[in-house]
Amino acid sequence: MNRIRISGKHYEEIKKHLFPGDEKEAVAVALCGRSKWQGNVTMLVHEIVLIPYEACFERRGDFVHWPTNIITPLIEKAHAQGMAILKIHCHPGGGEFFSDYDTESDLDLFTGIHSWLDDGLPHASCIMLPGGRIFGRFINEAIEFEKVDQILVAGSTILNWRYTSHSFVAEEMQLRNLQAFGKKTISMIRQKKIGVVGCSGTGSIIIEQLKRYGLGEFVLVDPDFTDKVNLNRILNSTIKDAENKLPKVEVMRRSIDEVGFQTQVIVFDTHITSPEVIKELAECDILFCCVDGVEGRHVLNLISSFYLIPLFDLGVRLDADGEGGIDNIFGSIHYVQPGGSSLLSRKQYSIDKLAAEGIKRTNPEEYENRERNGYLSKVNESSPAVISINMQVASTAINDFLNRIHPFRNVDNECVSFIRIIFGELYMEYQFDETPCLFFNKFLGLGDIEPLLNLSELSDASKAA
């Protein structure tokens, strides 16, 4: 499958430039990272260059002639960093096709680019139509055209255009969902691949809802097994599962298979820092973070940034009163779009806690020694959340997800970065925070680099792709 992904920020900049209101063609060029996994090739927009209108030799409603030497610095960057070039122009009058002039222009431009870069890897050319939809083609080293199968925009509203055959929707089983959201939205869900990391309290409920919307494919990650202490909140778990120490991901796989929607399931009963896990999650259209710890949140935010994937993070906090009771209960749903703010910049975790959790996982004795001597932050233990709280938080997250692929709320998606539920006050609020995170944004769209995710413990892992 050939794919292109764009952050919401870059998409809006390109759209504004290509459609300035003069009904003439315009052009932009992007430097793209790459991701390769099991036959799929994805280009990920890292940096854009908007070709100035005044620099073009000629612009008409069906034609743009521009000086290609203006992107020489971008091609030099692509050569130095092993990246790809994406050209995108507009058809202000519509027309979902590449004209003869478009093809002539692409052949000329990309013959030169392939000759210069000489890496045997494809580049791409796309067209944006009025309204913002994009379609395109890859240009391989033989200067042959290959259709782009999917283009995803990871913005406040998630745009996802697929140019392959649609998946079958079991209309009898999906009748109520179809009545609520329509065939188009249910078909969109059917075509999605979603990663859920953490299959316990909130995670099992996220999975339950997505599977009953007829999701096409899951990637489930959780290194833990089912225990008796989990039975109060993991959906579909049984006492037999706890007695047999069945991995949580296997409980989820069984429950998905038994429903009968023919949803595909990939499971990993390992830690998220496994290279294979990271690369499989990087293939997903959406990610859900349902973990208590810091390290999982950090790695998922890295995957979101490197591979331009929207991320939903769920959290539950209970404040004890010190006398065996609870003062208040809080739930949060953070939506992270690449190029905006991050879980780190929103203070959902700290670098100190991240370091402590990593050492505890890889070297427990060293962690105990450093924590005892005050050199490390104490790693939080798992939250004592219960199913009724988890249900409301997970349901709010799924409704937020549904609204971002099919807006139905009276509040615009671009106004909502995260949602907070204050159970003690019977109150729910939303807030906006999209101040770019300086730490994560330098990784925007880099894709497969060495080391993978810029994590030293994953050195050489990206070569396995």
Q: pLDDT tens digit string along 263-312?
A: 999 999 999 999 999 999 999 999 999 998 899 999 999 999 999 999 99
> Which position has the higher pLDDT, 378 or 238?
238
Q: What is the pLDDT of residue 175?
A: 57
- Going by their DSSP bridges, the two strands 311-320 and 286-289 should be labelled as parallel
pLDDT single digits (tens) 130-175: 999 999 999 999 999 999 999 999 999 999 999 986 666 666 566 5
Q: What is the pLDDT of residue 183?
A: 64
Backbone angles phi, psi at 422, to 5 degrees: -110, 95
**Average pLDDT for 240-248:** 97
| Angle (nearest 5°) at CA 302 between 88 and 71 | 25
Q: What is the pLDDT of residue 372?
A: 54
Q: What is the pLDDT of residue 317?
A: 86
Q: Is the pLDDT of residue 229 over 60?
A: yes
Spatial distance between the Cα atoms of 131 and 128, rounded to a whole number of angstroms: 8
Alpha carbon 38 to its chain's center: 18
**Strand order across the 134-139 sheet:** 145-147, 134-139, 123-128, 84-90, 27-37, 40-50, 2-7, 150-154, 158-162
Residue with the two structure tokens 């037999």: 240
- Please say whether the beta carbons of 91 and 55 come within 8 A: no
Residue with the two structure tokens 């300035």: 20
**Average pLDDT for 366-391:** 62
Cα maximum dimension of the chain: 77
Alpha carbon 435 to its chain's center: 18
Is 236 exposed, middle or buried (CB count within 10 Å of its CB: 0-12, 13-18, 19+)? middle
Q: Is the pLDDT of residue 226 over 50?
A: yes
Q: How confident is residue 462, by pLDDT bands cut at 50, 70 and 90? A: very low
Where are any strands of DSSP class E within 290-409? Answer: 311-320, 326-336
| Buried b or exposed e, range 150-171, using 16+ CB within 10 angstroms | bbbbbbbbbbbbbeeeebebee
**% of the chain surpassing 70 pLDDT:** 88
Q: What is the pLDDT of residue 370?
A: 53
Backbone angles phi, psi at 94, to 5 degrees: 85, -165
Give the three-state DSSP class for 279.
helix
Q: What is the pLDDT of residue 172?
A: 58
Cβ atoms within 10 Å of 303's Cβ, excluding its own: 27
Spatial distance between the Cα atoms of 233 and 78, rounded to a whole number of angstroms: 49
pLDDT single digits (tens) 28-87: 999 999 999 999 999 999 999 999 999 999 999 999 999 999 999 999 999 999 999 999
Token readout for 192 is 């999605």
Q: Is the pLDDT of residue 369 over 70?
A: no
Q: What is the pLDDT of residue 318?
A: 81
Q: What is the pLDDT of residue 376?
A: 41
Q: What is the pLDDT of residue 452?
A: 97
